[in-house]
Amino acid sequence: MGRDEVLKTFEGVVSDPLGSIKEYKEKEKKPVVGYFCTYTPEEMIHAAGAIPFRIIGENKAVERADGHLQSYSCSLIRTGLDLALLGKLDFVDGTVFPHTCDSIQRLSDIWKVNAKIDYHADVVLPVKLNTESAKKYLIEELGAFRKSLDEHFSTTVSDKKLRESIKVYNEMRDNLSRLYRIKNEAPKSITARDVNNCVKAAMYMPVEEHNRLMAELLADLDKGAKDEDAPRVIFSGNLCVFPEILDFVEKAGAYVVGDDMCTGYRYFVTNVDEKKGDDLGPIEAIADRIIKRPICAAKHNPDFDRGEFLKSLAREVKAEGVVFLFLKFCDPHSFDYPRLMKSLDEVKIPHILIETEMDNPALGQLRTRIEAFVEMIRDNR
């Protein structure tokens, strides 16, 4: 399969994640376990013999969820619950809620009563990550999650199975990291939308199939594509649910050369240390990755400054501007925004804030704002 066929496959999966995962479930004869946040330890679900599947909702008006949630809940929460209430997740065999933000934690309670999905797990991860007590607690919580998977799916998530799952997920992360390096070094070799599809597809399909397709794609990318001297931009925020926004940047004459998004870089950055898994145990190694990966706005680590990280990322990929992309009513990212904005101002990196809702994108206005932003970067050169 060549580059275009692989990209077309990923595009098909991302454009219809529910239909795709149902087909994979039927083909592989495995249960599907949904989750809402990239802090979910997918390796553990995989080792239990299930297919992890990220629930992101749909870009449609909410029909039933507003009867259970406040209207100021973010649209990730509202559209995700809507899928369950409309019966569109009836094929899902379980759902996992890691503690990310208050909205997801409260959604878990509402979900448990109303979604009527058989298996339900709360994995209450620590918010503050830099203490020994947090690490000890996290290891115990992951151990309880393993026991829960064992009991419900009548299996044994052994250390051997976990180590095997860690290997295939590390391979996925390595592939996506390599793709990001290629996009940074030769931005014309692949579009930002296609890169985003590659990342999201990993959340919607069996990891082994994703690894196979990524190997074929990486072997067939034209790394020698001649790039124009165009402005380089990165994204920062939570989810990119409208790939049209990525298109607007590149059609305005700029390149998207990186991001700090949970539908992007934060999903795959930092491998599980396989040697540590051999020495200390795979649960300890998975906990170590959760603690060491670059945090999102919902976590706290005094040893990790998100502003410094964003500046460092911008320097690394030679970005000349930052697009902050948030879902409306996301409290953690909104609280972090002034601090991140100040960090970029200190080094004179221009930035723009875009807030979207999944049922009301106002794409025409967004295109105009992005075109003006790219033009401003170009004029400042």
CB atoms inside a 10 Å sphere around CB 43: 28
CA distances from 209 to 83, 203, 274, 287, 327 (A): 26, 12, 21, 26, 30
Say whether 321 sits in a helix, a strand or coil: strand
Query: Over the stretch 34-86, which tens digit does the pLDDT of each residue have?
Result: 999 999 999 999 999 999 999 998 888 899 999 999 888 999 999 999 999 99
Q: Which residues pair with 259 in a beta bridge?
A: 235
**Can you read off the two tokens belonging to residue 251?**
């059609």
- Which of these, 58, 20, 34, 41, lies nearest to 115 by C-alpha position? 34
Query: Which residue stretches of the chain are H helix?
Result: 3-15, 17-28, 42-47, 75-85, 102-114, 132-153, 159-185, 192-204, 207-219, 244-251, 265-268, 274-279, 282-292, 306-316, 331-346, 363-379
Phi, psi of 52 (to 5 degrees): -70, 145
Cα–Cα distance between 164 and 166 in angstroms, integer?
Answer: 5
What is the pLDDT at residue 225? 67
CA distances from 254 to 251, 261, 371 (A): 7, 19, 9
To the nearest 10 degrees (0 to 180), the angle between helices 132-153 and 282-292 is 130
Cα–Cα distance between 349 and 200 in angstroms, integer?
Answer: 28
Give the torsion sign (CA, 54, 201, 208, 265): negative
Cα–Cα distance between 117 and 242 in angstroms, integer?
Answer: 28
Q: Which residues pair with 258 in a beta bridge?
A: 234
Cα–Cα distance between 304 and 232 in angstroms, integer?
Answer: 25
What is the pLDDT at residue 109? 93
Q: Mean pLDDT of residues grouped by 10 in the chain (381 residues)?
A: 94 97 97 96 98 93 91 90 96 94 90 94 92 95 98 97 98 98 94 98 98 96 76 95 95 97 95 89 96 91 94 96 95 94 96 89 92 95 83
What is the pLDDT at residue 13? 98
Cα–Cα distance between 40 and 213 in angstroms, integer?
Answer: 23
pTM here is 0.95
- Which of these, 107, 24, 98, 32, lies nearest to 73 by C-alpha position? 107
Which DSSP string do the residues of 331-343 spell out, in sequence order?
HHHHHHHHHHHHH
- Which of these, 359, 355, 298, lies nearest to 78 by C-alpha position? 359
Query: Over the stretch 147-177, which tens digit does the pLDDT of each residue have?
Result: 999 999 999 999 999 999 999 999 999 999 9
- Which of these, 232, 223, 231, lies nearest to 257 by C-alpha position? 232
Longest pairwise C-alpha distance within the chain:
62
- Which of these, 221, 223, 250, 224, lies nearest to 235 by C-alpha position? 250
What is the pLDDT at residue 1? 82
